[in-house]
A and B are shown apart, each in its own frame.
Chain A
Amino acid sequence: DGGITQSPKYLFRKEGQNVTLSCEQNLNHDAMYWYRQDPGQGLRLIYYSQIVNDFQKGDIAEGYSVSREKKESFPLTVTSAQKNPTAFYLCASSIKRRASAGELFFGEGSRLTVL
């Protein structure tokens, strides 16, 4: 079945370590996104990519990095520069067609905890 796969589901990190969250989709979607979710908050956009080898910063990109070498893959690295990295991270994709660009398909999320 088509969908978005995020891994790992749970991740623990020591302060000062970089970690990379995986996101893979087989929906043939052009656009992919990373959101951060904190308790009681809406989703905040970290980075997005509308085409391979191109990506743009979202509202809270500081301390994060991404790559888009393949259409199917959009990994997120949480660097040691991110001051408060403990959160639930959600990857999403969408068809690039403007009319339905807001119709996002989400992965199951990755919960990162910094010890």
Chain B
Amino acid sequence: GQQLNQSPQSMFIQEGEDVSMNCTSSSIFNTWLWYKQDPGEGPVLLIALYKAGELTSNGRLTAQFGITRKDSFLNISASIPSDVGIYFCAGQPSGGGADGLTFGKGTHLIIQP
């Protein structure tokens, strides 16, 4: 199956810092999605991207669909304690339903007081 490389694997930051993470793929995706998972809970959709070059914001979160359609980026500005969790990217190839969704292995965000 398709492989998604998500980096970094984990991040230790100070409250108030900005955060950047990304996902790259060896193949072209038509949709990129970013999810956040709190400990012991199910993931929650943060941002969905459907067009190459698209830049979408959700509060302090901004995500971009790479122009090559093989990558996506998520930025979090001015991090706060509730941002702690695991962030997953997911990509969907052309014409597929969610059965074709591939998930990255996640970026574990830890905020030090």
Contact = CB atoms under 8 A, between A and B. Distances in A.
Nearest to A104: B98
Contacts of B41: 108-109
Contact of A42 (B45, B95, B97, B106): B106
Contacts of B90: 102
A100 to B, nearest CB: 7
Which bucket holds chain A's interface residue count?
A: 20 to 34
A5 to B, nearest CB: 11
A90 interface: yes
Which interface residue of A4, A6, A43, A50 has the most chain B CB atoms within 10 A?
A: A43
Interface string A20-45: 00000000000101000000111111
Contact of B104 (A6, A42, A99, A109): A42
19 contacts: A33-B98, A33-B99, A40-B106, A42-B4, A42-B88, A42-B102, A42-B103, A43-B88, A56-B99, A92-B98, A94-B98, A99-B50, A100-B48, A101-B96, A103-B45, A103-B48, A104-B101, A108-B41, A109-B42
B44 interface: yes
A99 B90 CA distance: 15
A106 B45 CA distance: 9
B79 interface: no
Contacts of B6: 42
A45 B99 contact: yes
Interface of A: 4, 6, 31, 33, 40-45, 48, 50, 56, 58-59, 90, 92, 94, 96, 98-109, 111
Contacts of A106: 42-44
